[in-house]
Amino acid sequence: MLAFVTVGTTKFDGLIDRICDVDMLGTLADQGYGRVRIQYGPQGRIPDLIDERKERVRKNASFALSKKRHIEIEWFPIKPSIKKDLEEASLVIGHAGAGTILETLRAGTNLVVVTNPDLMDDHQTDLATAMERQKYLIKATCKTLKDVLKRMKRVDLKQYPPFDPKPFCDMCDEELGLM
Percentage of residues of the chain with pLDDT beyond 90: 56
SS3 111: strand
Per DSSP, 89 falls in state -
Comparing 5 with 55, the larger pLDDT belongs to 5
d(CA 165, CA 137): 23
Do the Cβ atoms of 151 and 130 come closer than 8 Å?
Answer: no
Do the Cβ atoms of 6 and 85 come closer than 8 Å?
Answer: yes
The pLDDT of 87-115, averaged and rounded, is 93
Beta partners for residue 2, in sequence order = 35
Residue 6 phi/psi, 5° resolution?
-140, 140
The pLDDT of residue 170 is above 80:
yes
d(CA 140, CA 43): 23
Confidence of residue 24 (pLDDT cuts 50, 70, 90): very high
Q: Checking phi first, is residue 118 left (phi over 0); if not, alpha (psi -120 to 50) or beta?
A: alpha
Confidence of residue 86 (pLDDT cuts 50, 70, 90): very high
Question: How many angstroms separate the most distant Cα atoms in the chain?
Answer: 70
Confidence of residue 102 (pLDDT cuts 50, 70, 90): very high
d(CA 92, CA 15): 13
Apex 80 CA angle, 75 and 85, nearest 5:
50
Beta strand 61-64 with 70-76: parallel, antiparallel or unpaired?
A: antiparallel
d(CA 96, CA 94): 6
